[in-house]
Amino acid sequence: MRRKTLIIDGHPDPDRQRFCHALADAYAAGAVAAGDETRSITLAETDIGFLRTAVDFAKPPTAPVILSAQRDIEWADHIVMVFPLWLGGAPALLRAFLEQVACGSFFADTSGRGIQQRLKNKSARLIVTMGMPAFIYRLVFHAHGVRNIMEGVLGFAGFRPVRATLFGAVEAQNAQAQKARLARVRDLGRQGR
């Protein structure tokens, strides 16, 4: 069965030299090579505003880019988010995107008793780059910013399993390390993981 994969490139910088863009492309190439259907959203190419009130969060979105993203998320079996770690977590643009997409109880309905997760039977992977070594981020900071997206956003919506691949010290990586990391992500795309 062909998987349907949505790749969300969450790097806010449109400069295609950013490693996150190459990682998103590598995952897509692996998925396509495996015969999967793919769609992608590149946040650096979108215009996304910020929510400021609970009233706005409760309303269904009206922005075409957000409505399209919701359709893509509903379509997908597997979601991949690629982003750099900024100040210990996801960049503000990715957070704003997730907030806008979640509007109107898209991720989960909490109006009655309990939580009615709306995006069950979907899996996800986060691919995160950072300046510090990844083991330091896990050991010292407990990967709190990544876990927030994994558990507080995707887990809340019903995604299972949610996995993460962390690439540390990206500014110091040489061409050989970069090539190995891209190959690893291509393999993840082929496997649909």
User: Tell me: the pLDDT tens digits for 143-185?
Assistant: 999 999 999 999 999 999 999 999 999 999 999 999 999 999 9
In whole angstroms, what separates CA 62 from the centre of its chain?
Answer: 22
* Domain residue spans of the chain: 4-191
User: Tell me: the pLDDT tens digits for 65-77?
Assistant: 999 999 999 999 9
Q: Which residue has the tokens 């019903």?
A: 158
- First-to-last CA distance in the chain? 15
Rounded to two decimals, what is the model's pTM?
0.95
Closest CA to 151 of 112, 179, 117: 117
Return the DSSP state at 149.
I
Kindly state the tokens that stand for 112.
Answer: 């009655």
CATH superfamily of 4-191: Flavodoxin domain (3.40.50.360)
Q: Residue 132, SS3?
A: coil
The whole-angstrom separation of Cα 113 and Cα 86 is: 36
Give the amino acid at 137: Y
User: Tell me: the pLDDT tens digits for 23-43?
Assistant: 999 999 999 999 999 999 999
- Report whether 158 contacts 114 (CB < 8 A): no
User: Over pLDDT 90: what percentage of the chain?
Assistant: 88
The whole-angstrom separation of Cα 13 and Cα 154 is: 24
